[in-house]
Structure formats: structure tokens, C-alpha cells
Amino acid sequence: MESRVSAVVISEQDSVATATRNIKAGEKITVKVGDKETELLIKNDIKFLHKFALKNIKRGEKVLKYGMVIGEATKDIFPGEHVHTQNMRSLRS
């Protein structure tokens, strides 16, 4: 059964959303950020519980989830793109 929501965004400041189902590249989905619903074109296949960008994140820019910094972008990331170890790293060394 397909779920009614495709992704969850915890805080309005977040730059990433977490997928609550497997999403295919090219799908247009609706994401609820706070009270606002926005449409977004998904660029890569996003597996269940993986993240994708909600906005442009420049290389070196902090990535926000839970309204908090979870790491920084190692490449320019575009909306709808998969955000994971290939384009983001921990700030803790």
C-alpha cells in the first residue's frame, strides 16, 4: 500500500527531508514544511529513510535536519537530490 506521505520534514529550517517510502527519480512529490506544502521533483532514486535536499545547498554549507547541523555538504547539492555520504560529511573529527 502506498503511503499518503512521501517524506517527513521535522523543522522548517531543515535543508533535507527524510523519505518515508522508496521514491523513484523523476517523481514529483509534495512535501509539507511547517504548514506549507511544496512540490518537488526528485532527481535520484531515494530509498526509504534516506534523505533528499529541499533547497540548494552549496559546497561547505551546513546541512540541517531536526533544525540542527548534521554535517556539511562536500559538493553543491540541488533540490530533490539524494543527500548521503557521497555529498555530505560529519563536522566532527
What is the binding site for other proteins (CB under 8 A)? 3-5, 8, 10, 18-20, 47-51, 65-71, 83-85, 88-92
Name which of 41 and 68 has its Cβ closer to other proteins.
Answer: 68
State the nearest-atom distance from the C-beta of 7 to other proteins, in Å: 10
State the nearest-atom distance from the C-beta of 47 to other proteins, in Å: 7
State the nearest-atom distance from the C-beta of 23 to other proteins, in Å: 12
State the nearest-atom distance from the C-beta of 53 to other proteins, in Å: 12
User: CB pairs under 8 A, 24+ apart, for 30-39?
Assistant: 30/6, 31/6, 31/7, 32/5, 33/9
Name which of 20 and 79 has its Cβ closer to other proteins.
Answer: 20
What is the SS3 assignment for 49? coil
Q: Which residues of 9-38 are buried (b: 16+ CB within 10 A; e: fewer)?
A: beeeebbbbbbebebeeeeebebebeeeee
